[in-house]
Amino acid sequence: MTTYPDDGLALHTDFYELNMMWTYWKQGIAEKNAVFECYFRDLPFGSGFAVFAGLEHVVDYLTHLQFSESDLAYLQTTTTYPPEFIQYLRDLRFTASVRSAVEGDLVFNNEPIFQVEGPLAQCQLVETAILNMINYQTLVATKAARIRAVVGDDALMEFGTRRAQETEAAMWGTRAAYIGGFNATSNVRAGKVFGIPISGTHAHALVQAYRDDYTAFKAYAEANRDVTFLVDTYDTLRSGVPAAIRVAREMGDKINFQGVRIDSGDMAYISKRVRQQLDEAGFPDVKIIASNDLDENTIQNLKMQGAKIDTWGVGTKVITAYDHPALGAVYKLVAIEDENGEMVDTIKLSSNAEKVSTPGKKQVWRITRHSNGKSEGDWIALADEDPRELDSLYMFHPNYPYINKTVTDFDARPVLQPIFDHGKLVYQLPALTDIREFGMHSVDSLWDEYTRVLNPQDYPVDLSQKAWDNKMNLINQIRAKVNQHRA
Ligand SMILES: Nc1ncnc2c1ncn2[C@@H]1O[C@H](COP(=O)(O)OP(=O)(O)OP(=O)(O)O)[C@@H](O)[C@H]1O
Ligand SMILES: O=P(O)(O)OC[C@H]1O[C@H](OP(=O)(O)OP(=O)(O)O)[C@H](O)[C@@H]1O
Ligand SMILES: O=C(O)c1cccnc1
């Protein structure tokens, strides 16, 4: 690997984006106004909702977007771009506008969650990095929220760094897990950089180094005040827990005996026996921590079995989004300035109705019932529509219009918020604790049938009549054009 002192993220893009930029520039349409929207088609993990994350990294990327001299030198030697285009790239700064869901907010399939409007070439360049950041972080925040949903108020520790897809993923994944509802991380750098609380026990290596539980725990207790002992290295019930109790008694007030961790075996059975041993020894407040390939499914099952576990350590399955490793969010052109300087809507057709894009610049409105604050659904409308001006709202499923309802007693809140206005950051990034709080509170606005972990109901994501008519008109226009060509 060659390191460059001026390395940045401008080249963190797919080559085809640069080739399209070059084409737009050569043909004189690079500066035409365009609108791109990002959405995903399916909710991950069989979940009823997703938790949006990734915006802070995107904001940092767009704020610092600039081709460095080493980037340009690389392009000069590897491509056929002429010096004039290289100079255009040298001068390029992000001047587009962005509207986005905010981190921690709930987002659903087939609705815009991020929108970029501005010079066509710029909008094209940033596609890859934006999808990269939002896809991964939203996925991990969603997995974390599912785990939070099954643990209730129990403490949740994120242990995933060693299994993450490399260093950056460990960092941003840890942050996303915190947004989704984890309480702390074992990643010390994430603690430093993001201000996430850090926490940790010890590994089997410590016990192996001393070759027996008692000696290891004693050494650990002499060096640390707050202690949690890992009790399963040799035999949890016959050696680990008795050694922990012995050391705790010997050390008395010199330590704060916080917990024991179990990392293998039948955790329902073992945790109950460990609880009994600790209680009988006079340590009813000492917590039992469990780890070992846990996720919402194993945890829910352990709870059903009456496992006596107070704190959950989760690594691999949250940080790698193990059972659904890609969110699949896409970034599509929905409108572009034509030859006359007018904005025209664009569409991508498909034989699969769900894959036909919805043309036009849009806003997503979260509709809640005024009387109880509970969600009625999301209403995707064209950008110039405002449901707050309406007394009643007709909501219908875009692919199955016979599924419909009219709501009257409602509040409407725009999901897409202004982030950049012509390149200027107009959004104050919230503190991470506020994002987390907002996210956990957002889930409360959903009815239980949408939040349950197994087979939730489909949350309504509806189109306004105007957006629907616009889509149908464009489909008909394109069909007519295609038929004309064939004739
Ligand atoms: N009572 C239980 N019910 C359901 N799943 C459990 C229960 N106890 C443990 N598990 C889960 O079963 C999986 C396998 O557990 P197991 O103890 O075999 O792990 P292991 O890593 O093979 O253990 P060891 O470290 O002893 O080799 C883990 O994901 C663990 O979280
Ligand atoms: O199972 P996860 O959800 O991924 O949680 C992280 C795992 O990492 C550690 O194991 P590891 O075997 O790496 O090290 P150890 O020696 O501390 O057990 C820890 O004991 C957990 O089992
Ligand atoms: O602190 C822990 O117990 C821990 C940290 C990382 C991975 N597994 C466990």
182-213 tens-digit pLDDT: 999 999 999 999 999 999 999 999 999 999 99
Q: Which atom of ligand 2 is nearest to the CA of 202?
A: 17
- Tell me the pLDDT tens digit for each residue of 445-466: 999 999 999 999 999 999 999 9
Indicate the top mutation candidate among 186, 187, 263, 293 to test ligand 3's pocket, ranked by most ligand atoms within 8 A of CB. 186
Q: How many Å lie between the centroid of ligand 3 and the Cα of residue 251?
A: 24
Any atom of ligand 3 within 6 Å of the Cβ of 201: yes
Closest C-alpha among 481, 459, 466 to residue 106: 459
Closest CA to 433 of 103, 173, 199: 103
Interior CA angle at 211 toward 210 and 215, to 5°?
Answer: 50
CB 464 within 8 A of CB 382: yes
pLDDT of residue 363: 98
Q: By percentage, how much of the chain surpasses pLDDT 70?
A: 100
pLDDT at 408: 95
Ligand nearest to the backbone CA of 289: 3
Burial of 254 (0-12, 13-18, 19+ CB in 10 A): exposed
pLDDT of residue 199: 97
What are the pLDDT digits (tens) for 336-388?
999 999 999 999 998 888 889 999 999 999 999 999 999 999 999 999 999 99
Task: Specify the pLDDT at position 29.
Answer: 98
pLDDT, residue 31, reads: 98
Decide if pLDDT at 115 tops 80.
yes
Q: What is the predicted pLDDT for the residue at 338?
A: 96
Residue 483's pLDDT band (boundaries 50, 70, 90)?
Answer: confident
pLDDT in tens, 41-94: 999 999 999 999 999 999 999 999 999 999 999 999 999 999 999 999 999 999
Angle between helices 127-151 and 432-444 in degrees, nearest 10: 60
Query: Cα 187 from chain centroid?
Result: 18
What's the pLDDT at 354?
80
- Structure-token match 């392009």, residue found: 75
Mean pLDDT, rounded, of the chain: 97
pLDDT (0 to 100) of residue 376: 95
Q: What are the pLDDT digits (tens) for 121-169?
A: 999 999 999 999 999 999 999 999 999 999 999 999 999 999 999 999 9
Contact 443, 106 (CB under 8 A): yes
- What is the three-state SS of the chain? CCCCCCCCCCCCCCHHHHHHHHHHHHCCCCCCEEEEEEECCCCHHHCCCEECCCHHHHHHHHHCCCCCHHHHHHHHHHCCCCHHHHHHHHHCCCCCEEEECCCCCEECCCCCCEEEEEEHHHHHHCHHHHHHHHHHHHHHHHHHHHHHHHHCCCEEEECCHHHCCHHHHHHHHHHHHHHHCCCEECCHHHHHHHCCCECCCCCHHHHHHHCCHHHHHHHHHHHCCEEEEECCCCCHHHHHHHHHHHHHHHHHHHCEEEEEEECCCCHHHHHHHHHHHHHHCCCCCCEEEEECCCCHHHHHHHHHCCCCCCEEEECHHHHCCCCCCCCCCEEEEEEEECCCCCEEECCCCCCCHHHCCCCCCEEEEEEEECCCCCEEEEEEEECCCCHHHCCCEEEECCCCCCCEEEECCEEEEECCEEEEECCEECCCCCCHHHHHHHHHHHHHCCCHHHHCCCCCCCCCEEECHHHHHHHHHHHHHHHHHHHHHHC
Amino acid 487: pLDDT = 65
Q: Is 315 in the pocket of ligand 3 (CB under 6 A)?
A: yes
Distance 303 CA to ligand 1 centre (A): 14
Q: Which of 102-106, 246-250, 320-324, 475-479 has the lowest mean pLDDT?
A: 475-479
Which of 298, 303, 309, 323 is the best mutation target for the ligand 1 pocket, counting ligand atoms within 8 Å of the beta carbon and taking the most?
Answer: 298
- Tell me the residue type at 59: V
Task: For ligand 1, pick from 147, 150, 264 the residue to mutate: most ligand atoms within 8 Å of CB.
Answer: 264
Ligand 1 residue neighbourhood (C-beta within 6 Å):
264-268, 292-294, 298, 301-302, 305
